[in-house]
């Protein structure tokens, strides 16, 4: 933005013709220019560097129909540079290294980024469309902390149970098909035919399962576990280990496994489900009776962002209805702006319903486990323990 200039009016007293002529020959002094630091504070820096989940920021390279970057760059002059990350831990590592302005963080990373001072509060007065965000997400616990907004919601979705519809003629009703050894509807065992997520936050999926399986444990929140509850969740995961064909974190690799490697059931994202269906594979998904975990991702601003003005432009752009609808159509997620569900050619009339908008109340959204918790009298097991112990589980220990 260029600084404005203020004209200075003068009152001339005409004492005589000669004075008047002399006065008219003088030049007015120019108004003082805006301070240089004011101009610098609003100048667009020419680029913005973002850490994002794969598929979250597309410029038409994968499919020309899906491009919400080019117009932003044309309108603002801010070039968008994207570094993709396959897990929340990878995102955390990249942001801690520095050199990035924004990150599309899931709830299992956002509190760690906040507590570590890696991200800064966002001034939502600079994000004009913030009021259009779903009221249930505006002050969600994973990004709104101590009365401050640490980001702008981006997309959300459930961790669905994906299954092969040739093996399961009816949708499975419980997560037991991936957690407990047994025969599947085709008469064959599930050993070597299921997958589990390669991330410590998956402990919450086991805890969610136990909320129904063993209610006497008293689990009220799968991210707030006392020692007994935590031990029980680990037992479920250790029992699952012999069944697991792969601990997945790369969505595209999981698509290949469901196509070629005999995997028939797994926790997954709508992105993989939609990709497989588009590839005419016999794949469907469901949210079982126990409910599901899920992710509500937030675009967060690095504490030392080098391009904050372009970053704020992106934050506003990211929640425009067209962008929100296009992202949801590509990724298989749900927009954080409800208006995006209507009149989007790519998403279609039923797109938000297909992607799980009606499941919001069934989802326990990812949140970083912390020692201080609300639902237990005792202290809860913090994420540092989750991370260490889950590595051991995946190693068969």
Q: Which backbone phi and psi does 84 adopt, to 5 degrees? A: -85, 150
pLDDT score recorded for residue 40: 57
pLDDT score recorded for residue 104: 98
Q: Provide the Cα torsion 380, 384, 388, 393; round to 10°.
A: 40
Strand, helix or coil for residue 117: coil
Looking at the whole model, is its pTM more than 0.75?
yes
Give the residue among 179, 172, 171, 127 at the shortest CA–CA distance from 153.
Answer: 127
Structural Rg of the chain based on CA atoms: 26
Give the residue among 241, 196, 233 at the shortest CA–CA distance from 214.
Answer: 233
pLDDT score recorded for residue 61: 94
Distances (CA, A) of 270 to 163, 218, 274, 292: 12, 30, 6, 13
Measured between alpha carbons, how far is 303 from 300 in angstroms, rounded to an integer?
Answer: 9
Domains in the chain, start-ordered, CATH in brackets? 45-157+295-365 (3.40.190.10), 160-268+368-394 (3.40.190.10)
CA angle 305, 307, 310 (to 5 degrees): 125
What residue ranges in 46-186 does DSSP mark as E strands? 47-52, 79-84, 102-105, 119-120, 144-145, 148-149, 152-158, 160-164
Exposed e or buried b for every residue in 158-172, given b needs 16+ CB within 10 A? Answer: bbbbbbbeebbeeeb
Q: How do the pLDDT tens digits run along the chain, 397 residues long?
A: 333 323 333 333 333 333 333 343 433 444 444 444 555 588 999 999 999 998 999 999 989 999 999 999 999 999 999 999 988 999 999 999 999 999 999 999 999 999 999 999 999 999 999 999 999 999 999 999 999 999 999 999 999 999 999 999 999 999 999 999 999 999 999 999 999 999 999 999 999 999 999 999 999 999 999 999 999 999 999 999 999 999 999 899 999 999 999 999 999 998 899 899 999 999 999 999 999 999 999 999 999 999 999 999 999 999 999 999 999 999 999 999 999 999 999 999 999 998 889 989 989 999 999 999 988 877 999 999 999 999 999 999 8
Residue 167 C-alpha from the chain's centroid: 32
Measured between alpha carbons, how far is 109 from 333 in angstroms, rounded to an integer?
Answer: 19
DSSP for 175-243 reads THHHHS--B-TTSSB-TTSEEEESSGGGHHHHHHHHHHH-GGG--S-TT---HHHHHHHHHHHHHHGGG
Exposed e or buried b for every residue in 239-248, given b needs 16+ CB within 10 A? Answer: ebeebbbbeb
Q: 68: which DSSP letter?
A: S
Distances (CA, A) of 201 to 30, 355, 359: 62, 22, 20
Give the residue among 327, 362, 340 at the shortest CA–CA distance from 155.
Answer: 327
DSSP for 254-314 reads HHHHHHHS---EEEE-HHHHHHHHHTT-SEEEE--TT-EEEEEEEEEEETT-S-HHHHHHH
Strand, helix or coil for residue 323: helix
Instruction: Sort residue 332 into left (φ over 0), alpha (ψ -120 to 50) or beta.
Output: left
End-to-end CA separation in angstroms for the chain: 59
């Amino acid at each position: 933005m260029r600084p404005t200039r203020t004209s200075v009016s003068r009152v001339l007293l005409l004492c005589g013709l000669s004075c008047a002529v002399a006065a008219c020959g003088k030049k007015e002094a120019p108004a003082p220019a805006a301070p240089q630091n004011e101009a610098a504070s609003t100048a667009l820096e020419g680029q913005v560097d973002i850490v994002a989940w794969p598929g979250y920021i597309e410029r038409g390279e994968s499919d020309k129909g899906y491009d919400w970057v080019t117009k932003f760059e044309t309108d603002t002059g801010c070039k968008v540079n994207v570094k993709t990350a396959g897990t929340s831990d990878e995102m955390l590592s990249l942001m801690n290294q520095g050199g990035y302005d924004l990150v599309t963080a899931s709830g299992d990373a956002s509190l760690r980024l906040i507590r570590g001072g890696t991200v800064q509060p966002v001034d939502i007065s600079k994000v004009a469309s913030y009021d259009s965000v779903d009221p249930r997400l505006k002050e969600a616990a994973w990004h709104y902390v101590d009365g401050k907004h640490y980001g702008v919601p981006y997309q959300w979705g459930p961790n669905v149970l994906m299954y092969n519809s040739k093996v399961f003629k009816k949708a499975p009703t419980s997560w037991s098909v991936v957690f407990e050894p047994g025969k599947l509807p085709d008469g064959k065992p599930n050993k070597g035919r299921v997958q589990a997520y390669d991330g410590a936050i998956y402990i919450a999926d086991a805890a969610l399962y136990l909320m129904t399986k063993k209610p006497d444990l008293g689990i009220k929140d799968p991210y707030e576990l006392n020692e007994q509850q935590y031990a029980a969740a680990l037992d479920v995961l250790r029992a699952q280990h012999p069944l697991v064909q792969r601990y997945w974190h790369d969505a595209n690799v999981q698509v290949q496994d469901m196509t070629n490697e005999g995997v028939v059931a797994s926790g997954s994202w709508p992105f993989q489900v939609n990709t497989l269906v588009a590839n005419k594979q016999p794949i469907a998904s469901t949210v079982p009776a126990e409910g599901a975990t899920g992710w509500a991702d937030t675009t967060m601003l690095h504490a030392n962002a080098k391009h904050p003005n372009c970053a704020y432009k992106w934050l506003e752009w990211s929640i425009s209805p067209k962008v929100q609808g296009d992202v949801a159509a590509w990724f298989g997620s749900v927009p954080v702006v409800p208006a995006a569900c209507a009149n989007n050619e790519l998403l279609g009339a039923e797109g938000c319903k297909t992607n799980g908008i009606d499941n919001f109340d069934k989802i326990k959204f990812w949140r970083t486990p912390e020692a201080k918790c609300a639902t237990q009298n005792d202290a809860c097991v913090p994420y540092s323990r989750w991370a260490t112990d889950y590595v051991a589980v995946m190693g068969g220990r």
